[in-house]
């Protein structure tokens, strides 16, 4: 929920100067403890003048920082530096707590709708039979349908490692079974006793 922010408070005091009572209005103090993501707000803004956008989105032109702060205070809102690299920097009057809350909601919604691509693995063998390969191919197609990549691996046993061409034939045969649903992301390559091929789902 929105974080609490202190509204401007004014203190009035009297003190004597040359035998006369003078009314002194001390400037307000605004709480700036709202969590932020590198955006300067309120008293953190040290520029002498800024290009101001009011809370309704209207351009107010270049104004002195004290004018911008006063306008934000009168609106009961925050002054936020939204474009610090501009000359002069651009500031906007807004409810910073509400802005952060809505930004968090948008980011959460984006993460929820974002598809995380996983790397699934299908393990073959240099001596796999046709039926087992067909079963493995069906599983791979399911992974591609879900948008996941597939690592196809073969673990050579004993003297099989000396005959990488056999493993390459198995890889090529497997790819022919699933090529309508995928593309080769990394060609089959033997590394010691392992041969690995990475396949990625086709995009429409």
CATH number at residue 178: 3.30.110.10
Q: Which of 81, 104, 127 is the last residue of a domain?
A: 104
Give this prediction's pTM: 0.46
Please indicate, yes or no, whether residues 64 and 130 belong to a single structural domain of this protein: no
Q: Which of 55, 79, 104 is the last residue of a domain?
A: 104
Look up the domain containing 171 and give its range.
119-201
Please indicate, yes or no, whether residues 75 and 133 belong to a single structural domain of this protein: no
Number of domains in the chain: 2
**Alpha-carbon distance 77 to 92, whole Å?**
10
pLDDT in tens, the chain (204 residues): 333 333 333 333 333 333 333 333 333 333 333 334 568 899 899 999 999 999 888 999 999 999 999 999 999 999 999 999 999 999 999 999 898 898 888 888 887 777 677 899 999 998 999 999 999 999 999 999 988 999 999 999 888 878 788 899 999 999 999 999 999 999 999 888 899 999 999 876
Please indicate, yes or no, whether residues 100 and 126 belong to a single structural domain of this protein: no
Please indicate, yes or no, whether residues 129 and 68 belong to a single structural domain of this protein: no
In a domain, 110, yes or no: no
Phi, psi for 175 (deg, rounded to 5) = -65, -40
Q: Which of 69, 104, 139 is the last residue of a domain?
A: 104
């Amino acid at each position: 929920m929105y974080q609490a922010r202190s509204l401007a408070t004014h203190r009035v005091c009297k003190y004597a100067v040359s035998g006369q009572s003078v009314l002194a209005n001390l400037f307000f103090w605004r709480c700036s403890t709202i969590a932020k993501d590198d955006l300067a707000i309120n008293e953190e803004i040290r520029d002498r003048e800024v290009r101001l956008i009011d809370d309704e989105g209207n351009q107010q032109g270049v104004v002195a920082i004290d004018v911008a702060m006063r306008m934000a205070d009168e609106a009961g809102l925050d002054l936020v530096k939204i474009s610090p690299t501009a000359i002069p920097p651009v500031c906007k009057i807004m409810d910073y707590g509400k802005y952060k809350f809505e930004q968090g909601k948008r980011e959460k919604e984006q993460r929820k709708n974002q598809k995380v691509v996983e790397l699934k693995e299908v393990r073959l063998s240099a001596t796999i039979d046709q039926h087992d390969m067909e079963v493995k191919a069906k599983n791979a197609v399911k992974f591609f349908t879900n948008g996941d990549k597939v690592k196809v691996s073969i673990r050579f046993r004993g003297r099989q490692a000396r005959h990488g061409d056999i493993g390459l034939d198995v890889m090529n045969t497997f790819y022919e079974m699933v090529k309508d649903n995928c593309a080769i992301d990394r060609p089959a390559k033997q590394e010691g006793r392992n041969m690995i091929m990475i396949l990625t789902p086709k995009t429409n």
